[in-house]
């Protein structure tokens, strides 16, 4: 399959505005450079997703997170450090990200990834990475590369050639932490 690429070529493709199908620390994901409006639009199109449904963004560290959220509630640092499984946090006051990534209420969902391949992609890109499940909106998540629909595989520009045989885990936990440190479990 000519779309299969290594991490270096995937990062170069992301820099050029391409979309990527890749394994994450949870499920197979569709992604792009989180600062590229055209690439974000392509992900909406590939997923056939309504614009009012936002995406998760992956960062490689708390230091990177601090560049995209104006005021991180103190409790979030402990939640990130002590999470037993991948944890996505919805934050108030996102900064330096396109409006197309924000939820209708102006919040942003961000996960500090522990997956080494995702970290390498983000570090080579030097920007956050959009991450949404590799399925058409409303359909079930694929648990392996083999279960991802041909429509998705054909629609993306690139496919990371890592962990193609691995069965993936469940989606991340999602919580919303308000500026008042109030915590609400979403998933």
Q: Which of 44, 91, 85, 36 is nearest to 67 (CA)?
A: 91
Q: How many domains does the chain have?
A: 1
- C-alpha distances (whole Å) from 143 to each of 15, 67, 131, 133, 187 are 28, 32, 15, 10, 18
Distance, in Å, from the CA atom of 146 to the CA atom of 143, rounded to the nearest integer, reads: 8
Please determine, for residue 1, whether its predicted confidence score (pLDDT) is greater than 60: no
Residue 31 belongs to domain with CATH number: 3.90.870.10
Quick: pLDDT tens for 54-81.
899 999 999 999 999 999 999 999 999 9
Mean pLDDT, residues 156-161 taken together = 95
Query: 16-40 in b/e burial notation, b at 16+ Cβ within 10 A?
Result: eebbbbbbbbbbbbbbbbbbbeebb
Measured distance CA(90)–CA(108) in Å, rounded: 5
142: confidence class by pLDDT, cuts 50, 70, 90 = confident
Check pLDDT > 60 for residue 18.
Answer: yes
Question: What confidence tens digit (pLDDT) does each residue in 83-132 have?
Answer: 989 999 999 999 999 999 999 999 999 999 999 999 999 999 999 999 99
pTM of the model: 0.93
Domain extent at residue 178:
4-185
Secondary structure class of 173 (helix, strand, coil): strand
Which two three-digit tokens encode residue 151? Answer: 């429509």
71 compared with 49, residue with greater pLDDT: 71
Identify the helix (H) or strand (E) that includes residue 43.
helix 37-47
Give the tokens for residue 156. 């993306």
Pick left, alpha or beta for residue 24 (phi over 0 → left; psi -120 to 50 → alpha; otherwise beta): beta
- Distance, CA of 69 to CA of 167 (rounded, Å): 33
Q: In the structure, what pLDDT confidence band is assigned to residue 139 with cuts at 50, 70 and 90?
A: confident
């Amino acid at each position: 399959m000519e779309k299969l690429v290594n991490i270096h070529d995937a990062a170069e493709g992301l820099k050029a505005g391409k979309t990527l199908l890749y394994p994450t620390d949870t499920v197979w994901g569709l992604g792009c450079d989180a600062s590229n409006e055209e690439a974000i639009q392509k992900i909406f199109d590939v997923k056939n997703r309504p614009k009012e449904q936002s995406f998760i963004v992956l960062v490689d560290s708390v230091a990177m997170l601090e560049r995209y959220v104006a005021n991180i509630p103190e409790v979030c640092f402990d939640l990130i450090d002590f999470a037993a499984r991948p944890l996505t946090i919805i934050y108030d006051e996102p900064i330096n990200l396109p409006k197309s990534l924000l939820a209708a209420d102006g919040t942003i969902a961000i996960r500090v990834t522990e997956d080494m391949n995702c970290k390498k992609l983000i570090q080579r890109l030097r920007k956050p990475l959009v991450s949404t499940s590799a399925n058409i909106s409303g359909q079930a998540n694929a648990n392996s590369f083999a279960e991802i629909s041909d429509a998705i595989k054909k629609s993306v520009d690139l496919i990371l050639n890592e962990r193609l045989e691995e069965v993936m885990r469940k989606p991340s936990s999602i919580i919303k932490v308000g500026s008042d440190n109030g915590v609400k479990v979403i998933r």
